[in-house]
Amino acid sequence: MATDAAGPDGNVPVDKMPRTERGRRTQRAILDAAAAEFGEKGFHEGSISGITRRAGVALGSFYTYFDSKDAVFRALVADMSAQVRDHVAPAIRGADGRIAAERAGLLEFIRFVRTHKEIYRIIDEAEFVDPASFRRHYSTTAERIAARIRTGPEDAQAEVHAWAIMGMNVFLGLRYGVWDEDRSPEDVADVIASLLARGIFGSREGAKGAKEGI
């Protein structure tokens, strides 16, 4: 395993970072091929030769950027996490208000998942293949949500709310992005926006349940 200092994403050693546009394209091709390989076969059945074959690159090109199958998997988890972030961020920034921002984030997440279904298998396997990457993926996602819903420095509930929103989005993406596409992303996002605005049981019954410890 490489011992060099890590690059900007914390996963690729500095000496493995591409320094040319051609190198960046090659690395991108390898990561995309790794997503297809691991998404189809899983980490343990997937292979470096399978990745290079899908990417159309020589075995030596793989080792120019990654030391091992573990290394490319670790980089892939970080890459997919960044792809989700970069895909949903513009919609969130353009939303008018916090509920609209959460609606926009969920909408774009489901759209992303429908074209990248392999993300669920890859992230789920990371829990066992590389637990640090698995935890980092969810922790950084929750931190971004908490930052945008926090009402002030003393808002102690923001972290709990962020994990709740993230958990909800993850399973909605699984149900309506991976398992089936029988409901439009817009419809799902509208339902959740209403839930965030009013609660599941409505303000009066919700307040009564909270008082009774339900």
Model confidence pLDDT, tens digit, residues 205-214: 544 544 444 4
pLDDT at 5: 32
CATH code where residue 29 lies: 1.10.357.10
Q: How confident is the model at residue 15 (pLDDT cuts 50, 70, 90)?
A: low
Contact 166, 142 (CB under 8 A): yes
Phi/psi at 213 (5° precision): 80, 20
pLDDT (mean) for 126-139: 97
From 187, 194, 84, select the one nearest 140 (Cα to Cα). Answer: 84
Question: Is 56 contained in some domain?
Answer: yes
Residue 131: pLDDT above 60?
yes
Contact 148, 101 (CB under 8 A): yes
Q: How confident is the model at residue 10 (pLDDT cuts 50, 70, 90)?
A: very low
Contact 95, 104 (CB under 8 A): yes
- Residue 119, Cα to own-chain centre: how many angstroms? 7
Question: Is 173 contained in some domain?
Answer: yes
Q: Treating both helix axes as pointing N-terminal to C-terminal, what angle do 69-93 and 131-149 enclose, rounded to 10 degrees?
A: 10
Map residue 13 onto helix, strand or coil: strand
Question: Is 4 contained in some domain?
Answer: no
From 122, 128, 147, 107, select the one nearest 51 (Cα to Cα). Answer: 122
Contact 35, 80 (CB under 8 A): yes
Among 52-56, 88-92, 150-154, 207-211, name the one with the lowest average pLDDT. 207-211
Question: Is 5 contained in some domain?
Answer: no
pLDDT at 12: 61
pLDDT (mean) for 178-198: 97
Q: Which domain holds residue 55?
A: 14-211
Question: Is 18 contained in some domain?
Answer: yes
Number of domain units in the chain:
1
Question: Is 168 contained in some domain?
Answer: yes
Question: Is 159 contained in some domain?
Answer: yes
Amino acid at site 57:
V
Question: Is 8 contained in some domain?
Answer: no
pLDDT at 6: 36
Q: How confident is the model at residue 16 (pLDDT cuts 50, 70, 90)?
A: confident
Return the beta strands (E) in 49-156 as ranges.
Answer: none
- If you ran DSSP here, which 8-state letter would residue 58 be given? -
Joined together, the tokens standing for residue 186 give 């817009």
pLDDT at 200: 80
Read off the pLDDT of residues 31-78 as tens digits, 9 standing for 90 and up: 999 999 999 999 999 999 999 999 999 999 999 999 999 999 999 999
Map residue 6 onto helix, strand or coil: strand
